[in-house]
Homo-oligomer: A and B are copies of this chain.
Amino acid sequence: MRLVIAQCQVDYTGRLTAHLPWARRLIIVKADGSVSVHADDRAYKPLNWMSPPCTLTEREPAADEAAAVSALDPQITTVWEVDSAGGDHLQILLGDISLDVTEELGVDPGLQKDGVEAHLQELLAENPDAFGEGWSVVQREYMTPIGPVDLLCRDAEGTYVAVEVKRRGEIDGVEQLTRYLDLMNRDHLLGDHVLGVFAAQQIKPQARTLATDRGISCLTVDYDALRGMDHPEERLF
C-alpha cells in the first residue's frame, strides 16, 4: 500500500466525467491496483477512484502540461495515468508532495460478520415459537418456480405459512412475499390457503400498511432477544 499526500488535480472519464480542482489530498494506491483520492471529509468515500483491475503509470509532466499551469497553480512534479480495462481513465496531476510512503500489509484474514439476514433466518428457523405458540418449521428456502420462500412453517392449526425474512422490511419485500403467496395458493399443493408472515427487525410503516392490506401478518423481530433464546455457545464470537 502506498500513501501519498500532495497537491493534485484529478480528471476522470468513464461512466461519467468528473473534475477535481487543485487541492491537497490523500491518494491511496492499494496492492489490488486500486487508486483512490480522498479529501478530509465524506467519511470513507473517496472523491474519485479507479477500481481494479487497472494499471497505474507514473510519468514526467509533458512540456505543454508544465507550460499550461497558471501562476496560481502549483508546479507539476509528476503525472499519474490510471487506466482500466473498461476504458475508464483517471489522470492525476501532482504538485507539491508532502508524504509518500509505501508499506507492506500482507493478506488480510478478512471480516467476520454476524447479524445479517441469513442469521436472522437461522435464528427464526430454530425458534419458530417467535411466530406463535405451537408453530413449526417445515423447510428453509422452500423452492417455488419464482424463487425460494425463506421459511415454510405451519401454525398451531397446521395451516401452512410462508415467511419472508428481511433485516429491514420495505415494500419490495411485501411484493416478493405476495408473489410467492399468489403462486402457492394457485397450486393448492399446500392446502386451501397459505398464510403469509413478513418478519423483519424493522418494518417501515408503508410496508406494514401494504402487508396488512393484503392479509399478511407482520412480525418485528428482536434480534438480540432471539439470539438469547438460542444456544449462546454456537455464536461466532
Give A contacts to B, CB under 8 Å: 1, 3, 5, 15-26, 28, 30-32, 34, 36, 38-49, 51-52, 98-99, 101, 103-116, 167-168, 236-237
Contacts and interface: CB of A to CB of B under 8 A. Distances in A.
A51 to B, nearest CB: 5
Contacts of A49: 43-44
Q: What is the count of identical protomers in the complex?
A: 2
A32 B21 contact: no
Q: Give the interface centre of A41, A103, A106 by most chain B CB atoms within 10 Å.
A: A41
A236 B237 CA distance: 52
Contact of A40 (B18, B40, B108): B108
B103 A25 contact: no
A6 to B, nearest CB: 10
Contacts of A110: 20, 39, 47
A165 to B, nearest CB: 15
A96 B147 CA distance: 49
A76 to B, nearest CB: 18
Contact of A31 (B17, B28, B41): B41
A110 B41 CA distance: 10
A133 to B, nearest CB: 29
Contacts of A44: 28, 34, 36, 44-46, 49, 51
A51 B40 contact: no
Nearest to A1: B40
B111 A23 contact: no
A65 B107 CA distance: 25
